[in-house]
Structure 1
């Protein structure tokens, strides 16, 4: 019987702890008004909504692995895994506290009955752009059959200040990612399967992705990659979401236009079916996640909206919508274990 793994990535849109949670003063100042009104009731609603989507994935059984970003701390990951208990799975998580100014971190949720994740094989790197910014998070997942799958989760610097003005920071992240891929091949060999996922804040055709992360839609280019003097193939990545972009799909709607900022890529080993084979990949655009304005159903925050005559935050789509989820759509991939 084939073993197929359902792997997802999702930007959870500012999954923050409650307003009076312990956090550094500098972080409280940076998050600012967004925290106003974030109480346990609002937090529980947000987490319940997110968990309901994750639980619906994979034909109602939940993902085998989910990479997530914009999570403030480990407590929230624990609450999220508790909400996933109805799936019947035993989820664990991998988390690293970053020095991002807003404290929004990357993490993995995974079914620990399917995978072993050695703690000594978890790596992070702190990226700098005059001050600390978002990290890359790498973990190694060992299957029951003994196969190894390395996954690198990314949340690259945002476009704040302008797409082109901020582009050098994403190029830094891309160069770091490509260096990691080369190092993995040096230490593990060219046949080590690696999957890359994340919110790259750039699209598949942008320079950071194509010229520096070496991501492409050209399978022939990857198959025909050349070895260098160390016997390592050029660390090309196959971007699995190009077809979705060609079909006009995206994960974030900005100024009425879809952008495919969340992507999944695989290295040459997986392209050559070493250990794993890609069966399919795409945007998880379930109708419940999209509003009648054809935009992702963002949750927002009480601090982003005005108050009614009773002093309660108004429920406004795009600012504070308790029936919402995230301003990003998830992306998913099915991997068959060979």
Structure 2
């Protein structure tokens, strides 16, 4: 190891151990979530609304490859530091068209040597976007995985119609079954596996959008929050000491009813009293003015990663198993629009040119003491 890298390594290790014990050393893993913003291939699938992402509409193979270039650049750097050189060992993703695009991403030259594998299910979302799960096989081995459907139904009143006209613009419009009024949206993906031998459970989410207005669409996200809570309670019922991470683009902030009441997420670690309790570090980040996306010059954090009580150490010297350390939003300058109407926003796809995403990725660090 070169001298300057060795010195940097020691500095970061010491910073991690400050407040724990100066002689201890820790291994650090990054767990991340990223909304890939319309990662579509160029093939027209008759079963999905993907026509705008076809060569006839300007979404060429060149553009598709450029999109993969951009995303792989983010993922290889996300959550790294002088001491933590590795890319995220676990990545939750959304706004992906199918398994193929995730496979193409893992095979990108930038990411190939990380050995990422894919967990994916096709969801009933009629626009053709799903959630997905990437993991480094060297560090994480899935035991089981399942997609849990979210059943929500349109219930429009006169006041709802007014709200719909005044609602937010979004390209994430759910399809409604004319007969049943079911709104087809993304499933919630549950993956259970071993992180360096330790069992953890991860739920990947992309909750219903605010299409039609925040107020009108809120019940759909509240239902998503309740489903998320139900999944976690089922896990805890089987194993009271289970470790759970829930992550995703929730289309709501940490303060919204879907998160605060649906999931029951807590602002402070001290509020965690039982294994089923969930800590949301992104609530304080939002209070401090940070953002993972912007709409009409207003920033918010819709992209969140939360951890269960078993991830939060009550003894600052007890890191024998993986514990939550800290969280972050990855918003490096190359991810930010430099000019124009959307200056300061995430550098998204626009005017036929592939960008990165209209969301910044988020991440947390898990740490474990090295004996």
Q: TM-score range by the shorter chain?
A: 0.7 to 0.9
Structure with bigger gyration radius: 2
Alignment of 1:1-338 (within 5 A): 1-18=25-42, 21-25=43-47, 27=48, 30-33=49-52, 35=54, 36-57=57-78, 58-59=80-81, 61-83=86-108, 85=110, 88-118=113-143, 121-129=144-152, 130-144=182-196, 146-189=197-240, 191-223=241-273, 225=274, 235-272=276-313, 275-292=321-338, 293-300=343-350, 319-322=351-354, 324-337=355-368
Paired with 2:129 and 2:345, the residues of 1 have a C-alpha distance of: 23
Partner deviation per Cα, 1:112-163 (whole Å, 9 max, x = no partner): 0111112xx101111122132111001112033x211111111000000000
In the TM superposition, residue 279 of structure 1 has moved relative to its aligned partner by: 1.2
- SS of residue in 1 equivalent to 2:358: coil
Contact 2:40 2:53 in 1 (8 A): no
- SS of residue in 1 equivalent to 2:107: helix
Show structure 2 runs of 5+ residues with no match: 1-24, 153-181
In the TM superposition, residue 65 of structure 1 has moved relative to its aligned partner by: 1.1
Show structure 1 runs of 5+ residues with no match: 226-232, 301-318
- What TM-score does the superposition give when structure 1 sets the normalisation length? 0.84
Paired with 1:157 and 1:131, the residues of 2 have a C-alpha distance of: 9
Contact 1:6 1:63 in 2 (8 A): yes
Partner deviation per Cα, 1:3-53 (whole Å, 9 max, x = no partner): 2211110000010110xx25234x2xx344454211211100111111011
- SS of residue in 1 equivalent to 2:232: helix
Contact 2:76 2:110 in 1 (8 A): no
Paired with 2:74 and 2:293, the residues of 1 have a C-alpha distance of: 17
Paired with 1:170 and 1:14, the residues of 2 have a C-alpha distance of: 21
Paired with 1:140 and 1:103, the residues of 2 have a C-alpha distance of: 25
- SS of residue in 2 equivalent to 1:169: helix
Contact 1:93 1:109 in 2 (8 A): yes
Paired with 2:322 and 2:243, the residues of 1 have a C-alpha distance of: 7
Contact 1:126 1:132 in 2 (8 A): no
Contact 2:72 2:110 in 1 (8 A): no
Runs of 4 or more above 3 Å deviation: 30-35, 84-87, 272-275, 319-322
- SS of residue in 2 equivalent to 1:131: strand
- SS of residue in 2 equivalent to 1:42: helix
Paired with 1:94 and 1:197, the residues of 2 have a C-alpha distance of: 15
Per the alignment, residue 162 of structure 2 pairs with: none
- What TM-score does the superposition give when structure 2 sets the normalisation length? 0.77
In the TM superposition, residue 84 of structure 1 has moved relative to its aligned partner by: 5.1
How many residues matched?
301
Paired with 1:186 and 1:272, the residues of 2 have a C-alpha distance of: 21
Paired with 2:226 and 2:30, the residues of 1 have a C-alpha distance of: 28
Root-mean-square deviation over aligned CA pairs: 1.8
Per the alignment, residue 307 of structure 1 pairs with: none
- SS of residue in 2 equivalent to 1:117: strand
Contact 2:229 2:263 in 1 (8 A): yes
In the TM superposition, residue 222 of structure 1 has moved relative to its aligned partner by: 1.3
Task: Identify the range of structure 1 (109-118 vs 58-67) with the bigger mean alpha-carbon deviation.
Answer: 58-67
